[in-house]
Amino acid sequence: MKIIDAHLHFSKIESFKKTAKEISFVDYSAIGLNKEFENNNIIMGIGMGVTEELRGGFPDISSSNPMNLDLEAKLPSNLAYCVGINPVKLIDERKEQELFQIEEELKRDAIGIKIYAGYYPFYVYDAVYEPIYALAEKYDVPVVIHSGDTYSDRGLLKYSHPLAIDELAVKYRNIRFVIAHLGDPWVMETAELISKNSNVFTDISGLIVGDEKEVERWKNEKLFVEHIKRALIYADNYYKILFGSDWPLVQIGPYIEFIKELIPVEFHEHVFYRNALHVFSKLDK
């Protein structure tokens, strides 16, 4: 089965490097990524653009738009990307220049937009994002929105609650929105959102952080598995769910096996491959 990993990272973020070295034990490099892809029949990955100007500064308000993938000078050929947005830079005198740079990326190679709700102190329906949604609609690209727990204690959870996305889905009906990480721990809210709104999807990345041993531990935690399964069963629409790993925060192979156990086998091809092609339509090109 061919797989598209619809949510991973390839940026010089100190916390990602530390996790790769001390928790997930992965080779956080192009060589390491390619090895994981080869071992798991992953034909394409989608990196979520994010940068930090100050080492360890993520989420860094000084990062310029668009935030891209800067771990290495050259991207692997099987890695597409979503441009990351720093909303702080969209409220000062450089706004127009930064919007111009974002649009240039969308004209060229970017296949989507990533908003870091919770990491930056703005609700997703704040006016600061209106030009971003206009660009998403103009270039027919999806908007991936971080939801749920933040991988930084400097995040503010009130901004990352998935229910805020309902307002976007109703207002911008021509934009495909992807709720990252199933909105965990608010998975039932995410289930309701993808059930209610035809233009809202979710990825199931980042539900576990760690190596194979840690994935196995959580696979055997009945309440944790039921927490996720309850949302998937309630939503009852596996065409709205995309596989993602959140690499380098977890080893991809064991995480794939974990997700396979959550998804009925008849929907594996859609969750692991076809749904990503539908949502990220520029992948076909």
* Region 79-88 average pLDDT: 98
Contact between 200 and 175 (Cβ < 8 Å): no
**Beta bridge partners of residue 202, listed in sequence order:** 179, 241
Q: Which two tokens stand for residue 81?
A: 């990307």
Tell me which residue has tokens 């490099």: 29
Residues 104 and 152: their CA atoms lie apart, in Å, by 30
Biggest CA–CA distance in the chain, Å, is 52
- DSSP line for 103-166: HHHHHTT--EEEE-BTTBS--TTSGGGHHHHHHHHHTT--EEE--SS-SSTT--GGGS-TTHHH
Contact between 50 and 8 (Cβ < 8 Å): no
> What is the structure's pLDDT at 245?
98
pLDDT class for 57, splitting at 50, 70, 90? Answer: confident
**Beta bridge partners of residue 143, listed in sequence order:** 113, 177
Residues 59 and 50: their CA atoms lie apart, in Å, by 9
Element (H, E) at 177: strand 177-179
Average pLDDT of the chain to the nearest whole number: 97
Taking 80 as the threshold, does the pLDDT of residue 92 lie above it? Answer: no
pLDDT tens column, 95-119: 999 999 999 999 999 999 999 999 9
> What is the structure's pLDDT at 104?
98
The CATH fold of domain 3-284? TIM Barrel (3.20.20)
